[in-house]
Each structure stands twice: as structure tokens, then as C-alpha cells.
Chain A
Amino acid sequence: MLEIPGRKEICNKFREGGGRVAAVMPIHYPRELFRAFGVLPIEVWGPPGMDISHSAAHLQPYVCSMVHNMLAFLKTGGLDCADFIIVPHACDSLQGLGSLLVDFVRPPQPVFPLYMPRGRRPEDVEFFAQEFRKLYDWLSNLTGRRPSDEQLMESILMEERADKALAKLYDLRTEVSLSVRDFYRVVRTRQYFPAEEFVSFVERVIDEYSGNPPDGVPVIMSGIVPEPMEVLDEIQNLGGIVVGDDFACCGRRVYPAGSGEDPFIRMAWRIVHGPPDVTRGDLIEERFEHLMDKVKKTGAAGMIFYTVKFCEPELFDLPDMRRRLKEAGIPSVHVEVDINDPLSHQTITRIGAFLEVLI
């Protein structure tokens, strides 16, 4: 398996270099803004395998395991190395978590709830830019820094380069010999590597692993997060290869480069015009077209919807999305997981049966 430093290692290294760290909950936020303040955003997607008795006092059992785990992680000291906590309002559960942190749990770190626009209109960009200005002031108060527009722009350009590297990695999926799991381990370093390290790491991987990808029937995965990551090994063992994804933590955040001189508008525009995402209010039509486009580009034979149990935004669109795909001749399967459960036999059987259908 490919050697990749973990979050803790990167966090410690960054702090040793005099930087500060923000723990950021899913899904969208302006990385570049944090970096301009010398703060490294490290994303928290769960993590899986937590003991949710630590979160059960605050959250109902039907709140997704992602949010349960974030709270359990915080309460068991998992975020101790972070100086700030950012909670974007991606869904009701995350908004609930944001309020809980601010009003009841009151962790030692300051918490910033980041509100999201729900659309792609110019006023959505303006709304988001306004949120970023508030975040700028908040970080400014806490760090004593006030990065100039030039510094912000420099940071923006670096993150745009990192997003371009991520897009290139996806484009070259069928030209690198990485296993399905290793490919996603590399993709997911975008969640915690500083952008400059991510760019050089991706370049190195593309270079070192150029060659034929593992054999298999091509599929696309959609959902929030591919956890437990063993599922990716299983897909490969069962004769499949993931050639593209629409995971909220991965492919749904390959943001385009922006333009224009106003750094706040540019940061906001990039996210608002990223791949369609239900948590940002994009319509099912846009998501469907996006998925069909991915299918055409990658030659995928089917889609695996791999969702987190009780994830309302994802589940809301799902029946209609699967119906549309079916009508377009694209078979799909739906697997629901709790990120605290080990990979179950039932999940493997569902995916295995689906791949048998495609083969």
C-alpha cells in the first residue's frame, strides 16, 4: 500500500512550522482564506469507527453517523490539536451540530458556523462572499492578522493549482496503476495536505504510477464518503474499478478556477460553480446531467450509490435519480452504511451482485 502521511502527522508538522490549524466539517469552505491567515484547514469526515455513546446525549439516534462521530471525536479529544472549528451549514444535521457546539458543548476552540447559499445565481455568489468577509474578520480578530488582497489572491491561485492537480489526477485514472483504494487515499489527501504539498504529491504519484490501472468493470460511485475504505478493495476484488465519483468528500469538490480581482467574489464563485451538489441547492436535473456526463467520459457501466444512513440530502433525490439513470440505460445499486460499522457481508453481497449484473 502507498505510504501517505496521516492527518495527525500533517497537523503536527504544520504546527511545528508555526502555523495554526482549523478543524473543518463537511462540505464546502474557502481553503484559500484560511491559508492566507497561516491556518491549515484539516477536514473532519467522521472519522469512522467512533464510540457514539459520547454524542448520544446531544443527538438523536436518527442523526447520521457522520455528525455523531464528529461530536464524539471532539468530546474524546480528537480535535485537541485544532485552534478553530468551522461548521458549514451543509445540511440540517450539520447546522444542528453547529448550534450545539456554540450553545451547549462550548469546546475550548472558537466555532464559526458558515452559512451556505442555495443556488448558482449572482446573488448566491454575493451571499457567500459576504459570509467569507465575516469569516475573514473572525479570523482576523483571533489571529491578529489582516492579509492583503494580494496575499489572498496568492493563496487563491495556489488552491486553484491544487484543484487543477486534482482534476488531472481524475482525468488520468485510467492511466495510473494505483489500486482503487490507493487512488482514493491520494484523492483524499486534498482534505488535509497543504495545497503546495498536494500538488507536488499528485505530480509524483502520476509519474511513479503511470501504467495500466487494475482491470475491472468500470463503475462510478456517489455518496458522501467512501468509508470504510475497505469497500474500495472489495469492489476491486469483486471485479470492479471505480473510474469516477461524485462523493461529497472527493469529486464533488473539484472546483473550477475563478477569475476577477475581488478575492472574496472569486473564492465564492469557485465553490458556487463547482460540480452540482444537493447540499448547495443544485437541482436533480443538474446532478443527473453531471452524472451522465461522467458516465460518458469514463465509459462507466453502472453507478453505485453509497450513502450514509440517515443522510437526508442524499437520500431525498435518490429514488428519482435512480429512476432517471435507469431510463437512460444506466443500472445502479444503492448501499447504505453507518460509518461506525465494519464493512458488512450484506454490503459486499449487494455490490458483488451488482457487478455480476454488469459483467
Chain B
Amino acid sequence: MGRISAIGIDVGSTTAKIVGVDEGGELVWKYIEPAHPRVEEQVDRFLRKLEEENGPIDGIPIVATGYGRNLVHQATRKVTEITCHALGVFRQLGHGGTLIDIGGQDSKVIVIGPSGEVVDFAMNDKCAAGTGRFLENTAGRLMVKLDEMGQLALSSEEEVPISSTCTVFAESEIISMIAHGVRVEPILKGLHRSLVKRVVAMVRSVGLVPPLMLSGGVVKNPAIRKMIEEETGQKVTMPEHPQFMGAYGAALIALRGKRRTNA
């Protein structure tokens, strides 16, 4: 058998990720792709890729998490993304606190206890506001590349408030601003602020327990991180692989299960 001892798969609404951990729980292999509607086929492909690069996977436990977890028939167990994110981040950063995870189509705030356990959580999973989709929608409208949005927003001194928290209304608001000759950068800054305020409201609903941590695909955006710090007055820390924390936590649960079985 190769170096991989357990596998975690996170089928999110925007991306699918797979992580392999070694016997000690270290993240030793990872892979990400946009989420495919045929989940089972995609997971099969993921597992073949993992085998090609790491050797056979027979008998290696697999835990699935994320939005599409129940469609991962190859998994030995399914666990919610809340528990998995908490475990993954706890293992990478080595402490509890409050985790903000902003994904493509949902966002969550998880209070993690001193042993990595979930103490409380809040989710925004029905509305695109407060998720990556909010930025994605408007990036297209403003003809700005998604991965440049954050820098552009930060480059502006000026900030135009966006009053609509709803993605659809925000888009109309932006169109009318452009029609009135407002520059793109201040609009972007206001847009980021609007998303962050929404997320911070969720943090307040569970009660912030420092330190504040950040994960999920959207954290690559520097404006989000900076504004979360401004809005909460807390320094934010990030794990090394912020997009893989769900899959990593799933792999750690698989490893734990394996140890229990072997004990």
C-alpha cells in the first residue's frame, strides 16, 4: 500500500475536492476540480487519479462530505461539512475559535471548541448573498476577472455603499450606478463590504469566540480577509489549504475510524 491511509472527499456546490492523509493524519495529496453534475463519475475519476499517483487504494477508508456527500457511493461514511471543516481547520491551525467558511454557494460560521469539537454553527445556504456567488454574479456584470476583484476593490480609497443584500437587487443597483458614471473600483469595494457585513452578521448570531479563522474558496480574495478584520476588529488566520478543509476533515474522520477498527 502507498503512503495514503485515509481519503476525504468534499463534493461542494461549486468545486469537488479530494484529500489523502498519511498514517499520522498529514495532508499528503490533494486535488480540486469544478463540481460535476455526475458526482459518482467524477469521484471515480478522482480515485483513479489518486491511485495512479499514490498506489492502490483497496481497503482505504473514504469519508464523503459537502453538498453532494450522499451521492458518493464509494464512501464508507458520510459526515456533514460542518463537522469536517471544524476538524480540518483545528488540525491545521492547532486551536479552536471561530471559523468563517465562505464557499461558492454557501457560507458558514462554526465555533470550534478546544478539542476541535463543534460548539455552535450558523449557515447561510439558501441565499446567494453572503457567498461567493454574490461576487461572481457581479464580476460578470462589471467585466472584471473574479480573481482580480479583491485587488481592484482594495485599490480604491472611495467606497460606494450597496444597499441591497440580495444578489439580484444588488446587480440592478450596480447597473444603475454604472449608468450614473460611478467608477468600477468603488462599486467593487462596496460590494465586498456588503458580502462581509452579511457574513459578520452570522458571526454575531453565534457569538464570536477568538481567534477568528477563515477558509473556503473565497478567502483567496484579499479584500474579503481585510474587511472581515475591519468589521470584527479581530486578526484573521488562515490554514495552508483553505479550500480543502472539508475534505481534509473528512479524511481525518476516516483515519480515526480506521484506527478504531484496528485497535
Contact = CB atoms under 8 A, between A and B. Distances in A.
Contacts of B81: 349, 353
A356 B82 contact: yes
Interface in B57-98: 67, 79-83
B123 A346 contact: yes
B118 A356 contact: yes
Contacts of B22: none
A349 B82 contact: yes
B126 A353 contact: no
A350 interface: yes
Interface of B: 67, 79-83, 106, 117-121, 123, 125-126
B67 A350 contact: no
Contacts of B123: 346, 349-350
Contacts of B117: 357
A352 to B, nearest CB: 5
A345 interface: yes
Nearest to A352: B80
B67 A353 contact: no
A331 interface: yes
A326 B123 CA distance: 18
B67 A345 contact: yes
A223 B119 CA distance: 23
A326 B205 CA distance: 13
Given A346-B126, A350-B123, 9 more contacts: A345-B67, A349-B82, A349-B123, A349-B125, A353-B82, A356-B79, A356-B80, A356-B83, A357-B119
A356 B82 CA distance: 9
A345 B123 CA distance: 12
A345 B106 CA distance: 12
Contacts of A346: 106, 123, 125-126
Contact of A331 (B120, B125, B126): B120
A359 B120 CA distance: 14
Interface in A304-359: 326, 331, 344-346, 349-350, 352-353, 356-357
